Structure 1
Amino acid sequence: MKLYLMSDDIALRARWIGILSSLHPTTLPAFSLDIPSPSIVMASDRVLTDVSDEILKKLFEQRVMILSTTPSFSEAQKFLALGAMGYGNAMMHESHLYSVYQALEEGKVWLHPDFITMMILQIHDHNNPKEKSLEMLNVLSNREREVALMLGNGSTHQEISDALDITVRTVKAHSSAIYQKLDIKDRLALSLLLNK
């Protein structure tokens, strides 16, 4: 899948090109809809500032990651609601930029873990998950069920590790098993499943 880097900031584009050079990206110095489908686009939020929501929706028919030099949760929500597949810091570590590309290539959403936690907390019903949703967890072991409920509440891997007195590595292993058994991609999808 072809990669496009869209930014009006020369230094930022140069940084992205340096990091992602092995993917042979095409750079765009301004907003453009002239991108063949299917493609992955990593776009600076600055080039999207004056673009209408309707035009953004057209851009987001591609697999688009928005990168911001000043990330905010409200901006992430706006772009994700319009159809972007990811949101993050324009200066994120190079390994994260590769993770972004891989996630989008696989059709997955990419968000910083802190943003995922904030989204989960917004949708979470703090009283109790719905009874019907709890029945779906019957395919899990008792420990996986405990981990799933904590993940669905917005707990981080470290918080679950501390609460259940298990290693973070074990929490991650349980998380992978949970996602596989429930046929979901991540903890945001788990939270949505538990609270629908």
Structure 2
Amino acid sequence: MKIIFLSTDMNIVDEWISKLEIDTYISCDDLESLNQTLSPLGSEIIIADYDTMSSEINKLISSSTLQQKLVILEKAPEILTGKMLISRGISAYGNSRMLSNHLKQIISALEEDKIWTYPELTAAIAKRDEESRLSKDAKKLIKKRLSEKELKVIYLVLDGFTNDAIANKLNITNRTVKAHISSIFSKLHVNDRVSLILLLR
């Protein structure tokens, strides 16, 4: 996939290029140059700097015409901002200064049509409160498609538990938790935790 950087801060763009260890990319510093580089097929990944381009990025999201996968990074990511952006359809959100391996994980996740968020944001999105309990339709769907053990796992996932925490709570191995989660994703036709949460909420 072609990678396009959207930022007016060339230092951060250079840092991303170095961390991703890539030679082929396009760098844009405004929406006009970005629109000129986008293909109608939407086969690019756009990595955008929210610190320098928030107004432009918000316009891009609001237009609802973006076919590309949009990654939004900022120096001080906030859970509230992340929840809003993920709910509006972006593909990934995190710290613009993240480690190289995390930036590469984002690209891998997006190439597999997954959504990527940092663990605290994923847990916050999953956290249930009184207003966001599962709807009757969601409960009916999971009871129909999932086994008894998978139901226990899915409720813990929806409560924001990590794989290790689920393993400890249910007294099973981490490998078994991963197998249950993989089966849940398959049965509910989702690719990742965030998509699962969005489906059921």
Check whether TM > 0.5.
Answer: yes
Other-structure match for 2:127? 121
Tell me which amino acid in the other structure corresponds to 2:19: I
1:141 to 136, 139, 147: 147
2:36 to 22, 30, 34: 34
The answer to whether the Cα contact below 8 Å between 1:61 and 1:83 also exists between their aligned partners in 2 is no
Tell me which amino acid in the other structure corresponds to 1:33: N
Superposition RMSD in Å: 2.6
Gaps of 5+ in 1: none
Distance (Å, rounded) in 2 between the aligned partners of 1:194 and 1:90: 30
Q: Mean Cα displacement is larger for which, 71-80 or 49-58?
A: 49-58
1:178 to 152, 171, 184: 184
Query: What's the CA shift string for 1:125-184, capped at 9, x where partnerless?
Result: 579644443332333332222111211222222221111112223212211111112212
Gaps of 5+ in 2: none
The answer to whether the Cα contact below 8 Å between 1:117 and 1:155 also exists between their aligned partners in 2 is yes
The answer to whether the Cα contact below 8 Å between 1:148 and 1:190 also exists between their aligned partners in 2 is no
Query: What's the CA shift string for 1:77-119, capped at 9, x where partnerless?
Result: 3333443221111111212212211222333321112111111
Within the alignment, does 1:22 sit opposite 2:29 as a pair?
no
Which consecutive aligned stretches of 4+ in structure 1 deviate over 4 angstroms post-superposition? 124-128
Within the alignment, does 1:150 sit opposite 2:150 as a pair?
no
Distance 1:20 1:73, change over 3 A: same
Distance 1:80 1:156, change over 3 A: same
Within the alignment, does 1:90 sit opposite 2:99 as a pair?
no
Distance (Å, rounded) in 2 between the aligned partners of 1:47 and 1:18: 20
Q: CA deviation at 1:54?
A: 3.5
With the length of structure 2 as denominator, give the TM-score of the two structures: 0.81
1:50 to 52, 55, 79: 55
Distance (Å, rounded) in 1 between the aligned partners of 2:146 and 2:13: 45
Within the alignment, does 1:67 sit opposite 2:73 as a pair?
yes
2:5 match: secondary structure: strand
With the length of structure 1 as denominator, give the TM-score of the two structures: 0.83
1:22 match: secondary structure: coil
Give the paired residue count: 194
